[in-house]
Structure 1
Amino acid sequence: MNDFPLCESAANSVFFCGGIGITPVVPMIRRLERLGAHWRLHFAARHRARAAYAEELALLPEADARVTMHLENEGTRVDLRRIIAQSPAGTHFYCCGPRGMVDGFIEACSSLPPEQVHFERFAAASESATEGGFEVVLKRCGRRIPVPTGKTILDVLLDEGVNVQYACSAGVCGTCRTGVVDGVPDHRDDFLTDEEKASNSAIMVCCSGSSSPTLVLDL
């Protein structure tokens, strides 16, 4: 926790977490509860059943007002800029999560005093697949999109204007989970279970690639 300290004297604290980024934040919230301090939590996860500490957080006093779950299966996303802009002056902001979330957080806090901005990064155990050399096929419309060297599947989908939800860009939060109709994914995420990876029925397009020349996605 030394690299991600809690400012106990802050009048108001707002936390942003993605996936397992909730882990160091829970003890911070417990401490603020003991101090009687004001805090809010925004927690991004694929769905409530896979969100760590969700049950514990729901038991906190006034949890309905202070804990906001941003769940992929409900179509909700964290609007960092809006939340930060609408928070009281002097609020201390915290973010722990994957690279994409933390980068967005730092950018959204760029105009704030540095002492009010706290973050901790984590990354997936594997590097994102950027070798390219395969095609993705969008099953619902039949489009074929080549994935070149240096880009992820998510990169090319966004470049082509395909509407894909994503958050962490590191294969941890589960937001970009996409169904696989045919082909063999090269799994690089830390979200799917070993059984789910073995079934080849889903892929995290933000970081995983393809072991087959063509990968048909349920898009």
Structure 2
Amino acid sequence: MSAPQAGADRTRRSPGPRGLRRFTSPRRTPEERCELCSAPLADERHHHLVDTEKRALACACRPCAQLLDRTGGPQGRFRAVPGRFLSDPGHRIDEQAWEQLRIPVGVAFFFRNSALDRLVALYPSPAGATESELDPESWQSVLAATELAGLLEPDVEALLLRRQEGRVECFLVPIDICYELVGRMRLLWQGFDGGAEARADLEAFFALVRDRARDPRGSRS
């Protein structure tokens, strides 16, 4: 992933969900607990909820995640982040389509913010999540090139794109994974190009995504 360029067109730093701070600092030793009922969270890969009113990620135990997602429904305040990973090997996002985005790094993710009622485009940078404020027509021309865009659940899932060596990879992933990537890059980035450690971590991250992602034509939600 190349370094952000100074003065990129119509971009601004985005703080992201308030819960992003759990991904931008070293893991603490005290036992993590559910932020709703205070039950201990034994599983490191525990559930997350999106608070759509406060734009915050909250750690949750399985019972709380299931209860709040079921009672809140699609329009509720809390929405459980699902665990599905999908890939689209037949997408039509090429180099020309990527250039239309004018995103100065090789990774970006898009999600639909239900409170704003629009798509939001973000990319990781040494300063954290940075929002790209482009003409919606530019986004739509890219999103129309993959069937995954039509499968996105608002607030809780994202379309994750990576441009590398003349090709673009396209995935649908849980939103918390995207903010985890932002936090990791912020912690590890060194120098102009990120440094060897950040690049290695980025490769490991996408290797995991590729391993978990399935083609939606042969997968179940």
Instruction: Indicate the structure whose relative CO is greater, using CA pairs within 8 Å and at least 6 residues apart.
Output: 2
Regarding TM over 0.5, the answer is no
TM-score when normalising by structure 2:
0.25
Larger of the two Rg values belongs to structure: 1
TM-score when normalising by structure 1:
0.25
